[in-house]
Amino acid sequence: MNSQPVDPTGAVRLQEKLAQHIAGVRRSDPDAALGYYGIVHIPFQFLTGCSISTFPEVALFELNRNDNKWHELKAGDGANLKPKLTQVADPANPTAAVMRIEISYPVPTAEVAKIIPGPYREYTLRIEAPAIDKVTHYGQVHAICKLFRQALDEIHNDLDSGFPVHVFYSGPVSLGFSLGRQISRTIHNRVFVYNYTSQNNPAYAWGVDVTRDTPPHEMVVKPTLVVP
C-alpha cells in the first residue's frame, strides 16, 4: 500500500473479505497453516488480527533489512526488551481511554491530544529502549501482547462499556497483528486504531474501529482537530 491510501474504506472491505476467506479455509481444513507478513498500515494490522483472533497458530514474519527477505520470527524468548505497562493518567471522570504503544519510536503525545479530547485514562506500553528491528522472537511478542491484553481487560472492568479505547502504535507489523489478536469484539470496549503520517495535520488523520462488525464505511473514522 502507499503511505497515504486513497480509500481506507475500500481497504477495510478487502480486509473483511480476506478474513472471510481465511475462515472458510479453516472450516474446510482445520490443519491449514497461516502466515502473516507484509507492508501494512497500522489499523489494518490490528483489524486483521482481531478478525482472525481465534485461529490457533499463525507464523509471523519480518522483513530483514540486510537481505531484503522475509524471515520468520525465532522460537524462544530472545533478548529481554523489558516491556512495561504504565497508567500515566486516571482522571476522576474519563470519557475514553488512550493507549500509546512505543516499540519502534515514541508516540508523539501532542499529536494524540490534537484528536482525542480529554479527560481520558491514559496508558503507555513501551519497551525499555524503543528502536526498529527490536522484535525478533515469538517470546517477545507474547510478553508485549500479555500486557496489552491486561490493559484492555482493566479498561473493560473499570470503565463504562461505552467508553472507547484509542490506540496509537509504533512497532513492527508482526506485533501489530498479534496485538490485534488480543482484542475481543464480544468482551472489550470499542477499540479505534490510528494511522500516522507525519506530513498530515493532524498526523493521525484516520483510523479504524477494529471491533465493529458493520459496513466498512462505518468503521473508518477521520477525526477533527481538537480546539483547545
Per-residue model confidence as pLDDT tens for the chain (228 residues) = 334 446 888 888 888 887 788 878 778 887 777 889 999 999 999 999 998 877 778 999 999 988 999 999 999 999 999 999 999 999 999 999 999 999 999 999 999 999 999 899 999 999 999 999 999 999 999 999 999 999 999 999 999 999 999 999 999 999 999 999 999 989 999 999 999 999 889 999 999 999 987 788 899 999 988 866
pLDDT value for 188: 94
Check residue 105 and report its DSSP letter.
S
Report how many domains make up the chain: 1
Residue 3 within a domain: no
Q: What region does 34 belong to: left with phi over 0, alpha with psi -120 to 50, or beta?
A: beta
Read off the amino acid at residue 186.
Answer: T
Residue 211 within a domain: yes
212: domain range?
8-221
Which long-range contacts link 207-212 to residues 24+ away (Cβ below 8 Å)? 207/43, 207/166, 208/8, 208/12, 208/43, 208/44, 208/46, 208/47, 210/43, 210/46, 210/47, 210/50, 210/51, 210/180, 210/183, 211/50, 211/183, 211/185, 212/185
Residue 226 within a domain: no
pLDDT value for 1: 33
Residue 228 within a domain: no
Residue 102 within a domain: yes
